[in-house]
Amino acid sequence: MPVMLRNAFLAAEDSTFYKHAGVNPAAIIRAFIKNLQAGEVVQGGSTITQQVTKALLLSPERSLERKIKEAALAFKIDKFLTKDEILYIYLNHIYLGHAAYGVEAAANNYFGKHVGELTLAECAMIAGLPRAPSRYSPFVNPKKATLRKNYVLRRMLEDRYIKKKQFDLAMSTKIEIIKDYKSHLPEIPYFIEHIRRYLESNYSADVLYNGGLSVYTTIDLPMQEAAKKAVSKGLFELDKRQGYRGPLGHLEIEESVNDFFKSNIIEGKIENFLKEGDIIPGVVDSIDSKEGRVIVNMGDAIGVIPVANMDWARSPDPDVANKEETVTDPAKVLLSGDIIKVRLGLQNEEDEIWELFLEQDPAAQASVTSIDAKTGYVRVMVGGLDFKKSQFNRVVQAHRQPGSAFKPIIYSAALDKGYTPATIIIDSSIVYSDESMDEKWKPSNYNQKFFGPTLFRTALIKSRNVVTIKIVQDIGLGYLISYAKKMGISSDLTSDLSLALGSSEVTLLELTNAYTVFPNLGDLVKPIFITKITDKDNEIIEINKPVKKQVIPGDTAFIMSHLLQEVVKYGTGWRLKALNRPAGGKTGTSNDMRDAWFVGFTPSIVTGVWVGFDDNARLGKYETGSRAASPIWFYYMQEALKGKSVEFFKVPEGIVFVNIDPATGAIATSNSAKSVLECFKQGTEPKAGKEENEVEEDLFRMDF
């Protein structure tokens, strides 16, 4: 490390580091007086040794007890380690913003160079970060970062670490910050934590934290950022359909609104510069029912919520669908003094009043994972809306019912048992009895209707439950479970007919990975998160190369790929047509609208989305996989595929295409009202001259 970097940190954080015994009482008293005068925390009294203690040995809580422990441990550390050893630990562990721990990571993040290549000005900018990495980030607040850098340089001059000429040169030196930082440094906490858990369980905590490992991962940062934004957008839209859960709090008449905005009651203090789209706290000043508007105080700004911008704010009720009830009087929702969240619209230039939209943090959760179909590289892992609030990774840790998203596995198994897209099955009422429990089960379709003779392809496209149950009964539960395991489903599957409706819980990762067989013509890929791990000597200790295994026939996989494209064109995946490129997929909705899924693919990318409540509460009326999950898939894939050429699915040998009548499954004729181009395994296609598809012994026309 450059000597100037070390000196910059000493000047900024602890100028008497080499003189005190781990704690500097004079600095603590000085900071106390400064903070008392300012009425808030403007200066810290912790030494570098105390910061090491807090970062490595203690929790971040603010309490007198912790400060006492911190001081005691700092004395011990100072006794048993040399000053250089303490400084070495500090400079390699200190958090410097944007997922950078240590000065080497910070040099690479902000300047794209190694720490040994830093200029004096760059050293000063990095040394200014520990006090408040987000506030002084050169990415987010370049002006504040520059002011902080200048402060550090002045301190270095005062402490005689540099001369006046060096100071003047550094002050005038233009610092080049990596411009496209967002594509390099989005937050990927769920992915990082998944990697950390893997490393700790496979290599021990000591190797993880002290082994100097370099871990090369498969994450695609722009795709990850797109997925995060898609989750946020989709959940905010869903949340509006679920109703308003009420204000965050309430200020009584005697309480000062100004005092509220100076406090830390709500996350997200109002910055000096407000812009359209910001979501910030506000306090209801007054309500005008006649005009249908709410006046909101936002500290240094005033805004108005027209009732049209809060008409969604009905009381939450899972049995009431969006727009079945709308708010027409804001006084029935809010009171003066309510603490709320608002999103900024446009500001009127004349009176500087903002148009506002009522907001709230989504209560539901969502997860997204995206896999490279050819390599198995996991490109995206978004385990929830906000890692800071919930570290539970819903991609790999949540087992939920997939509903109809499990059906492609069932229909693939059926194709290998002799079914074809034109096979006819009777969609009719059926009752199953369980004598051991004296119970009866009468399954139904989503809309409670039955449709009589139904083509295999139609049953999948329209997600017909009863037909699927009859198919499972015919091919056998044992065969289906074995088939699902072959396709990569590792979770336990129930050996009863409810499996046809996706009642067995699976993770998003395993179901998404199972879908890789469709664009891969039957090849299942192994999900890979880490491509390579090297130790401190740059020796490879682990390497992971793409692994493919053919688990179902290529023609079966292609037919399913084609049928799942039909789901997008004509079925529950209709929202994805707007991609304007070949894509297939399947929605899934568990019993009583508790889980919403969409798993879909292009020739190169397989992506899965899950939406639901962690406590398994109902999402709400009509909140199916099509409505709640597929929009997130679309928002993400739209960005992930931007600028990429359109790909088409490869047709394997042994596949024939035939125009059929979608009502009968027979070869389409001039008398057919409609016709569709369907694919078949060679030799199984409908034959010309048949009025309808013949099935041996008329088996599928029977009610099982």
Establish how many alpha carbons lie within 13 A of residue 588's alpha carbon, considering only the half-sphere containing its beta carbon: 33
Q: What DSSP element (H or E) covers 392?
A: none
Whether 231 and 364 have beta carbons less than 8 Å apart is answered as no
SS3 618: coil
Distance between CA atoms of residues 6 and 19, nearest Å? 16
SS3 readout for 506-517? ECHHHHHHHHHH
Contact 176, 33 (CB under 8 A): no
**CB of 661 closer than 8 Å to CB of 422:** no
Tokens for 280, please give them: 């910030």
Strands (E) in 204-318, as ranges, are 214-217, 249-250, 279-288, 293-297, 302-306
What three-state secondary structure class fits 110?
helix
Look at residues 311, 355, 302 and name the one whose alpha carbon lies nearest to residue 333: 311
Sequence letter at residue 170: A
Task: Say if CB 662 and CB 674 are below 8 A apart.
Answer: yes
CA distance 274 to 172: 31
Q: Could you give the 3-state DSSP secondary structure of residue 663?
A: coil
Catalytically annotated residue among 46, 137, 367, 404: 404
Write out the two tokens for 517.
């067989």
Distant-in-sequence, close-in-space partners of 359: CB < 8 Å, separation ≥ 6? 236, 279, 340, 341, 342, 343
Could you give the 3-state DSSP secondary structure of residue 449?
coil
Q: Which SS3 state, helix, strand or coil, does residue 88 take?
A: helix
- d(CA 150, CA 134) in angstroms, rounded, equals 17
Phi–psi pair at 433, nearest 5 degrees: -110, 140
CA 399-404-410 angle, 5° bins? 100
Q: How many beta carbons lie within 10 A of that of residue 704, not counting itself?
A: 15
For residue 42, the SS3 value is coil
Residues 13, 225, 566, 678: which is the catalytic one?
13
Contact 294, 337 (CB under 8 A): no
- Our answer to whether residue 463 is catalytic in this structure is no
Question: CA 293, 294, 298, 303: dihedral to nearest 10 degrees?
Answer: 10
13 part of the active site? yes
SS3 labels along 225-249: HHHHHHHHHHHHHHHHHHCCCCCCE
Paired tokens of 436 = 């051991």
DSSP 95: B
Contact of 589 with 572, CB cutoff 8 Å: no
Q: Where are the alpha helices (DSSP H) in 575-685?
A: 630-640
CB 219 within 8 A of CB 188: yes
φ and ψ of 659, to 5 deg = -80, 120
The secondary element (H helix, E strand) that includes residue 191 is helix 189-210
Which 8-state DSSP code applies to residue 307? Answer: G
- What does the longest C-alpha to C-alpha distance in the chain come to? 99
The catalytic site residues sit at 13, 404
